[in-house]
Amino acid sequence: MSLHGKSLIEGTPLPTSTKTFTAFDPRKGVSLEPNFHEANAADADVALNSAQAAFAAFRQKNSGERAIFLETIAAEIMALGDELLERAHQETGLLLDRLTGERGRTVGQLRLFAEVLREGSWCDVRIDTALPERTPLPRPDLRRILVPVGPVIVFGASNFPLAFSVAGGDTASALAAGCPVIVKGHPAHPGTSELVAGAVIKAAQSCGLPPGVFSLLQGSSHEIGTALVRHPKTRAVGFTGSHRGGRALLDAAAARPEPIPVFAEMGSLNPIFILPGALQERGAQIAEGLKNSITMGAGQFCTKPGLTFAIGGTDLEAFKSTIEPAIRSVAPGTMLHPGIRDAYVSSVNAALNTKGVNVLARSHAEADAGLTQGQAVLLDVSSDTFLAQPCLREEIFGPAGILVEARDMADLLQVAESLNGQLTASIHGTEADLDGAQELLYVLERKAGRLIINGFPTGVEVSPAMQHGGPYPATTDSRFTSVGTAAILRWVRPVCYQNFPAAALPPELRNENPLGLMRQINGKLGRESV
């Protein structure tokens, strides 16, 4: 399948601009064909008007029809075969095995949301029947349900060209909710985006959906993203990326005459606390796991542990002597694109130029800038230095970590309190350690969206119980997740129907419960008719 390099609006390739950009192979340091046309504000207007027109029909599709649509998208993605994986490999430098697994996660998410739709309880039906005899005032008949908000803008992520991009979790959950989606493709993998977008459009056509239900806009500039967020027909935004990018979108959305929510996942330091008993009993095992977690995928995961805290002493010195050769043995890895590699080098140098920061370990081999490589490094600081230098609490996106040496448990609590919001926080401890760490757990519960005991944060399960989101600046709204079935709740709002005749009610709210949903009726859960 040849790439055309155009945005896809209403199911049609539409280049309206002569300005172009190219993808880049980070492993070889060369540009890739073809040229991709930059979308502009006029394209955004066409796509959003089309999405708004499609919304009325799409939201009326029943849950079974939307489930079939999601499953059809999954099938069309798989039908792309190895061509999709090869193009993603070229554009990102990610290994084919990693991309094969990511494709499986992508289609798995789509199929999981299809199951959510068929099960139906996500719409949170609540029915309070009328009490006409109640005094001093009667109660009206009240029925509440979640409904889709309207057109959603999704920004593709650089580090997951499939699972967090065109047909990733944001798109899957928004379509499941009944919202049309417009994806702003990431400029680092536009060919991959075009292929997946074609699969989504083919699925929409196969399912007889209006063409505006999905569009892809290509672009390497910030202008098109801002135009999409500011457009009056946009109702919500999903973003995965840098703090700077997410904050810019949040501010643009808040400045609109009618502000809208931006659900931005902006990275995290994912602190790990190694308590004394665990450090003594299995310090070498923890060191190996930490090395793997820091350097996996060249450290380009939002859940990479950027900070590790432990109490100084002979056990910590033994830990250092174990992890130092482990980090040295890590070969430099290809990073996603030169911009990320340059930012990584700059961030590491800024940390090294900070008073009190030392290099504990560095990869034995030099990184080749021409091959877009990043060199693994582990820095070492005291808790006093860490507390005195706010720059050390900024994310370094890449295969780097900082080991912070504390004096005692009170010192660990102080550094924990100094942390901003995080996606995850982990504790390694024995049973005795954990019995004495309740105060630390309470602090971390306030700081993070996912707490981990005796494990590492890399790897995010796509499941109903997953929470991938945390207090600002990890995300812009810690009440929601971007991974797992609860992600659908970002794209809906509650509506209450008061004293409606039965024929005018949505099927989910009717007395006979034709969909067989679990509902809350007069405060009690059940599937019974009213």
- 374-411 residue pLDDT tens: 999 999 999 999 999 999 999 999 999 999 999 999 99
Residue 405 known to be catalytic: no
Question: CA 142 to CA 148: how far, in whole Å?
Answer: 19
* DSSP output for 334-363: E-S-HHHHHHHHHHHHHHHTSTT-EEEEE-
In angstroms, rounded to a whole number, what is the distance separating the alpha carbons of residues 254 and 228? 14
Contacts of 38 (CB under 8 A, 6+ apart): 17, 19, 20, 21, 218, 219, 220, 221, 224
265 part of the active site: yes
Residue 335, pLDDT > 90, answer yes
Question: How do 307-311 and 272-274 pair as beta strands?
Answer: parallel
Helix ranges (DSSP H) in 255-393: 276-295, 314-328, 338-352, 383-388
- Residues ≥6 apart with Cβ < 8 Å to 21: 35, 36, 38, 187, 190, 219, 220
SS (H, E, C) 423-438: EEEEEECCHHHHHCCH
Q: From the CB of residue 516, how many other CB atoms can be counted at a distance below 10 Å? A: 9
76-128 pLDDT tens trace: 999 999 999 999 999 999 999 999 999 999 999 999 999 999 999 999 999 99
**In percent, how much of the chain has pLDDT > 70?**
100
The helix/strand/coil state of 309 is: strand
Annotated active-site residue in 71, 76, 102, 265: 265
The overall average pLDDT reported for the chain is 97
CA distance 113 to 526: 22
Residue-wise pLDDT for 251-288, tens only, equals: 999 999 999 999 999 989 999 999 999 999 999 999 99
pLDDT band at 18 (very low <50, low <70, confident <90, very high): confident
Check residue 475 and report its DSSP letter.
Answer: B
Q: From the candidates 38, 71, 302, 405, which is the catalytic residue?
A: 302
Which is it for the CA torsion 316, 318, 321, 326, positive or negative?
A: negative
Per DSSP, the three-state class of 333 is strand
> Per DSSP, what are the bridge partners of residue 522?
none
Beta partners for 307? 402
Give the residue carrying structure tokens 């005032």: 137
Tell me the C-alpha distance between 6 and 34, whole Å.
10
Q: Give the confidence band of 16 by pLDDT, cuts at 50, 70, 90.
A: low
Instruction: Return d(Cα 172, Cα 485) in angstroms, integer.
Output: 10
Closest CA to 224 of 458, 457, 43: 43
CA–CA separation, 190 and 22 (whole Å): 8
Length of the chain: 530
* 15, pLDDT greater than 80: no
**pLDDT score of 163 more than 80:** yes
Which domains does the chain carry?
7-29+40-128+149-266+480-490 (3.40.605.10), 272-453 (3.40.309.10)
DSSP, collapsed to helix, strand or coil, labels residue 456 as coil
Closest listed residue to residue 492, CA positions, set 225, 122, 81: 122
Tokens of 213: 């239900």
